[in-house]
Amino acid sequence: MASAAMTTVSTGSIASYHAQAGLGTKSKPLGVNFGNKCCFKAFSGLKAALSINMEAETSFLGKESTFALQASLFPKLGASQKITNQLQPHAFQKITNQLQPHASTFKVAILGAAGGIGQPLALLIKMSPLVSALHLYDIANVKGVAADLSHCNTPSQVLDFTGPQELANCLKGVDVVVIPAGVPRKPGMTRDDLFNINANIVKTLVQAVADNCPDAFIHIISNPVNSTVPIAAEVLKQKGVYNPKKLFGVTTLDVVRANTFVAQKKNLKLIDVDVPVVGGHAGITILPLLSKTRPSTTFNDKEVEELTVRIQNAGTEVVEAKAGAGSATLSMAYAAARFVESSLRALDGDGDVYECTFIQSDLTELPFFASRVKLGKEGVEAVLSVDFQGLTEYEEKALEALKPELKASIEKGVAFVQKHPVASASAL
């Protein structure tokens, strides 16, 4: 498969952001209910609401946005006229029907589904209204996970697959493959320490993906992501099916943490906060661009330093708190589910999906780099450079400082596959 070049977009703003609901960034409200006293009418999985109250004090949109939205939905009545279900039952029903989510249509596979990340991730994906089939793979203990999840009354069918002999069947016809497989970090262990173990796991699994569902979106969670994504790319290249638009390193947890920590620090509504995080997914290669925080927020030098260091070391914070009992599994599952949901929305035709992710990129001289991208049906539609315009001196220096470490990690991943070429399909 020929590698198509991705578009780099440099604009003054990034499209239009909508009210945030559920895990996906700036998800569109699925239904609009003017005058209902209950903010959420129903919960349908990761897309949080079928109905959003536009007049309650806790509405995601302010009163001005409410009137504007009313005017756009009912232009003949004007923005100032209050609209209720009772006054406009037929019009409201028509709009609500138009905004309903599509029926579940996509197949998702989780490779490493019995692990600490895999299990909560499987639960969250099972809740998505866009998933028709959830395939769970691991080398052991996955049957019980599948049986447990299959009792949840959401539409997707859950199937389990155990061991290499069942991996091909797990992957056939899948639209999105998520790979959290591998060993977790332990106290005192860096992401680099994980390399020799997890590199071979990722290489083997991506070989199977290349043979059975080469057109699927591939989400790499297994650490160190700075190396495992290049490993996956090299495997796909050797298999002749590499499409850089469909290979993603999941760095969403860095964004989730940045949003959370900034909201706490500045006493902001978390649902409104959006901090782009660029670079890589380990230590100093994680660079939150605090100057690009939305809504526009001012930080003093001390706050910038403290927040940046905490975001970079947040994984270690969890590892040490768990004292040998594991790493950041729950927050990672949450972040990964958000990225899966964003991918599914893009596959479903949503034209307003943006996420930060580690991909093949020409934003810098490095072959891979994490930045905000626009997702579409074919994967990455555009790499957005707007976040890199007008960086602070601190961010400029941090950007240059991260490059040598990120470059070394990328090269390590590439060298691993070149030293251990992929096997043919018959040899797996």
* Angle subtended at Cα 351 by Cα 214 and Cα 62, rounded to the nearest 5 degrees: 140
Check residue 333 and give left, alpha or beta (phi > 0: left; psi -120 to 50: alpha). Answer: alpha
CB-based contacts of 80-89 (< 8 A; 24+ apart in sequence)? 82/34, 82/35, 83/34, 83/35, 84/34, 84/35, 85/33, 85/34, 85/35, 85/36, 86/35
Contact 79, 68 (CB under 8 A): yes
Contact 229, 406 (CB under 8 A): no
Q: Angle formed by the axes of helices 393-419 and 225-239, to 10°?
A: 50
DSSP code for 61: S
Contact 119, 145 (CB under 8 A): yes
Spatial distance between the Cα atoms of 83 and 100, rounded to a whole number of angstroms: 20
Q: Is the peptide bond before 295 cis (omega within 30 degrees of 0)?
A: yes
Spatial distance between the Cα atoms of 107 and 344, rounded to a whole number of angstroms: 10
**70-80 as b/e: b if 16+ CB within 10 A:** bbebbeeeeee
Contact 151, 83 (CB under 8 A): no
Closest CA to 107 of 177, 179, 207: 177
| Residue 420 is a catalytic residue | no
What tokens were used for 165?
Answer: 């002999």
Contact 24, 338 (CB under 8 A): yes
Of the residues 18, 90, 219, 281, which is catalytic? 281
Spatial distance between the Cα atoms of 332 and 192, rounded to a whole number of angstroms: 18
Active site amino acids: 281
